[in-house]
Amino acid sequence: MLIHLLIFLAGLTVLTLGADQFLRGASDLARRFGVKEFVIGMLLIGFGTSAPELTVNLAAAFHGRYDLAIGNVVGSNVANVGLILGISALIAPLAVQMRLVKVEAPILIAASVGLWLLCADGELSRLDGLILLAGFAGVIALVATDMRLEPSNVQDVLAESVPEHSDFSPGKTVMRTLGGLIGLVLGAELMVEGAVAMARIWGMSELMIGLTVVAIGTSLPELASSGMAAWRGQVDIALGNVLGSCLFNIFLILGINSTVHPLPVGRTVVTTELPIMIGFAVAMVPIMLRNKRISRRSGSLLLLAYVGYLLWQINFGLAAET
């Protein structure tokens, strides 16, 4: 048991370090091609912190661990709202712009319901994957248009989220990016191997281990970036990170996964897990609308809801196996 846990933790460490180096290298490359700082920041908010989920899911699907792949996305989205948004609000109350309530939050709810409908037949097919990727392209186009209309102070905040420019030569920058990508792949492989082994020892299904342990592990980059943004008072970064990551998980990660290989979807996912994910997304709206801020009290409620969800998943998973 200890060996498998160490393998999982080693994979998580390599995955996190690989993601950091990959993002730093990619940021430097984007600068060299003349991409504006705030545009780089906008992309890093969503894709950057979702890179661990993407690589873990691709590794899981490659090895035929489809339940773990589905569970990771669903569990990560629940963790984004309950765990990450909850902790961020506890660190500092989050003022909410109406754009988030009128645009991003409804898109997330629609995407979650759409995913549920696509999964209703028990499979995410290649056609479903292409639909999700088309949705991703639409979201990127909408966000890019929206960001051009943002005031300069918001663009400056986004630019501040970009890693500092390094003095590396172009060749070293490319090597840094490739090295980070290799770290992502290697870390994902170790995490999947350790997670599957722990699931067997604990008597839990791969779906349950994906919904809990793996989802929390791959959500740590979002927790770090959102928590730090809340501490610095960068509310747009904290909230945008949560909503952006959820949308990337649904559209990009599952879109790529199911396009590469159709993903079987278990009945429990359709009847229980996806409705819970939708419920967390819907719950954000009244919380955001109340005084146009997410208070520490609301943050504590979100965090308690996530802890309850986590305990229920563990008890449900163990009971189902006995």
pLDDT band at 39 (very low <50, low <70, confident <90, very high): low
Give the separation between CA 15 and CA 184, rounded to whole angstroms: 5
The verdict on residue 74 lying in a domain is: yes
The CATH number assigned to the domain holding 311 equals 1.20.1420.30
pLDDT computed for residue 35 by the predictor:
58
**Higher-pLDDT residue of 193, 202:** 193
CA distance 176 to 25: 6
In a domain, 191, yes or no: no
Mean pLDDT of the region 9-18: 81
What's the whole-number mean pLDDT along residues 21-39? 65
pLDDT of the residue at 165: 60
pLDDT the model gives residue 142: 79
Band (pLDDT 50/70/90 cuts) for residue 156 is: low
Q: pLDDT at position 158, please?
A: 55
- Tell me the pLDDT of the chain averaged across its residues: 81
End-to-end CA distance of the chain: 20
Residue 242, in any domain of the structure: yes
The number of folded domains in the chain is 1
Helix, strand, or coil here: 293? strand
Q: Which of 157, 284, 291, 277 is nearest to 225 (CA)?
A: 157
Domain housing 123 = 38-162+203-321
- The enclosing H or E element of 280 equals helix 274-289
pLDDT value for 147: 60
Instruction: Check residue 40 and give its pLDDT.
Output: 56
Structural domain contains residue 219: yes
> What pLDDT score was predicted for residue 131?
97
Would you say residue 295 has pLDDT above 60? Answer: yes
Per-residue pLDDT at 203: 77
Helix (H) or strand (E) holding 308: helix 296-321
| Choice among 131-140, 228-237, 307-316 with the minimum mean pLDDT | 228-237
What pLDDT, on a 0 to 100 scale, did the predictor assign at position 164?
A: 61
Whole-number pLDDT of residue 63: 84
Using CA atoms, how far apart are residues 304 and 92, in angstroms rounded to an integer? 17
Per the rule left: phi > 0, alpha: psi between -120 and 50, beta: everything else, 34 is left
Instruction: Please report whether residue 106 resides in a domain.
Output: yes
Average pLDDT over residues 45-69: 80
Query: pLDDT-derived band of residue 48, with 50, 70 and 90 as boundaries?
Result: low
Tell me whether residue 241 is in a domain: yes
Name the residue with higher pLDDT: 88 or 46: 88
Residue 29 lies in a domain: no
pTM: 0.82
97, part of any domain: yes
